[in-house]
Amino acid sequence: MRIGVCDCQDRLTAAFLHEADKPALTKLMVTKVPIIYIAGSGHSGSTLLDLLLGSHSQIESVGEVYKYLDPQRRMRILRCTCGATIDECAYWQSVQQAATSDGEDALSAADRSHRALVAVLRVSGKRLICDSSKTLEQLAVYAEHPDLFDLQILHLVRDGRGTAFSMNRKWLRMLAQHGSAEHAKSTIRARSKNPMVYGYYVSIVRWLRLNLRIAHRFAAHPGYHAIRYEDLADNPQLGLQAIMDRLNLPFEASQLDFARQQHHNVGGNSMRVRSDSTVKKDTEYQERLSPLRWGFGTLLGLPLLLKYGYRLRRTLPSP
Ligand SMILES: [Zn+2]
């Protein structure tokens, strides 16, 4: 991956800075935007899936773009995956220019999203957008406007005990780094509107509630697909081929080499800026959770653990 260099300035200039190009842009803006939306809980492997999809020749991944579409959240984004700050990245500056043109204040969330994502398609030259925002609100924007968006939903599920363990692990690291819960919360508050304390049991309840809401509200959508993080991480090629089949798109071997390609994502975890494409399934929770946490966590998450075929007993790796 190239860090700190954005090579799209020429295309951006051609796409946005010439008045003569405006009619073409206007024409594009009335078309439906094909969206692949990754729904699910945080710490469920969405960054991995986003990188794999965004490395396809026809798909442009924008990461957690809802943060960019909301001007208040946009202020909290520090850096694009290309290495430049958001304010310096020519790619996002051009998207912003298109998204904040005359009359933006009067636009609905759907129209603002559509305008920005049309700009992304134009800048990238790709045919589809992958959005890993994961919020129900952004998903509803797409689902409720079939006139503007052609939506495919990838509902990504991970074992809730693993998700909650990862969230709690992150929280404990922040506590160790900042020395107190109040200091850690103020740091999270600087990045997010809703600072969350990532307790293990609280995280399992959140995981259960969010995934049930997604399934209840969107499972009947014609573009809905439920997939498991573990199936993807166990065998990325087979897992990804199955997902591409569902999306009716050809699998490309280069997708597995995502770290060698330049991405302009916002949000997500540090995997976005790694220099190698090795996929290693995170199973630390299987070994580290105490028997008490495993047992109560299993009880709390039971409906979804059963629904998605997770073992109730832990699976320790062979010695
Ligand atoms: Zn960038």
3-state secondary structure 94-132: HHHHHHCCCCHHHCCHHHHHHHHHHHHHHHHCCCEEEEE
What is the whole-number distance in angstroms between the Cα of residue 14 and the centre of ligand 1? 17
Q: What pLDDT is stored for residue 206 in this prediction?
A: 94
What is the whole-number distance in angstroms between the Cα of residue 8 and the centre of ligand 1? 9
| Nearest-10 crossing angle of helices 291-307, 200-218 | 0
Q: What pLDDT is stored for residue 6 in this prediction?
A: 45
Beta bridge partners of 36: 130, 152
The amino acid at residue 35 is I
9-307: CATH topology: Rossmann fold (3.40.50)
Beta bridge partners of 89: none
pLDDT at 255 over 80: yes
What is the whole-number distance in angstroms between the Cα of residue 308 and the centre of ligand 1? 36
d(CA 249, CA 243): 9
Which of helix, strand or coil describes residue 62? strand
Which is nearest to 302 in space by CA: 198, 211, 219, 234? 211
Q: How confident is the model at residue 277 (pLDDT cuts 50, 70, 90)?
A: confident
Phi, psi of 282 (to 5 degrees): -85, 105
What is the whole-number distance in angstroms between the Cα of residue 273 and the centre of ligand 1? 12
User: pLDDT by residue (tens digit) across 54-87?
Assistant: 999 999 998 888 877 776 666 666 678 888 887 7
User: pLDDT by residue (tens digit) across 16-32?
Assistant: 434 334 444 444 445 89
Pairing of strands 59-63, 149-157: unpaired
Query: Which of 148 and 109 is assigned the larger pLDDT?
Result: 148
In terms of average pLDDT, the best of 195-209, 277-291, 294-308 is: 294-308
CA distances from residue 206 to 23, 135, 161, 209, 295 in whole angstroms, order as listed: 46, 13, 11, 5, 17
Least confident of 84-88, 101-105, 282-286: 101-105
Q: What pLDDT is stored for residue 198 in this prediction?
A: 75
Cβ neighbour number for residue 306 with a 10 Å cutoff: 10
What is the whole-number distance in angstroms between the Cα of residue 84 and the centre of ligand 1? 6
What is the whole-number distance in angstroms between the Cα of residue 58 and the centre of ligand 1? 18
pLDDT at 191 over 70: no
What is the whole-number distance in angstroms between the Cα of residue 176 and the centre of ligand 1? 31
What is the whole-number distance in angstroms between the Cα of residue 153 and the centre of ligand 1? 25
The answer to whether 67 touches 77, Cβ cutoff 8 Å, is yes
Query: Which of 129 and 272 is assigned the larger pLDDT?
Result: 129
Which is nearest to 227 in space by CA: 210, 209, 242? 242
Residue 121 CA to chain centroid, in angstroms? 17
The answer to whether 236 touches 258, Cβ cutoff 8 Å, is no
What is the whole-number distance in angstroms between the Cα of residue 312 and the centre of ligand 1? 42
DSSP label at 266? B
Q: What pLDDT is stored for residue 97 in this prediction?
A: 75
What is the whole-number distance in angstroms between the Cα of residue 277 and the centre of ligand 1? 19
In the numeric block, which tokens belong to residue 144? 């409720």
What is the whole-number distance in angstroms between the Cα of residue 57 and the centre of ligand 1? 18
What is the whole-number distance in angstroms between the Cα of residue 93 and the centre of ligand 1? 9
Q: How confident is the model at residue 4 (pLDDT cuts 50, 70, 90)?
A: very low
Q: What pLDDT is stored for residue 153 in this prediction?
A: 97
pLDDT at 268 over 50: yes
Q: What is the pTM of this model?
A: 0.82
Q: How confident is the model at residue 186 (pLDDT cuts 50, 70, 90)?
A: low
Query: Which of 16 and 160 is assigned the larger pLDDT?
Result: 160
d(CA 64, CA 70): 11
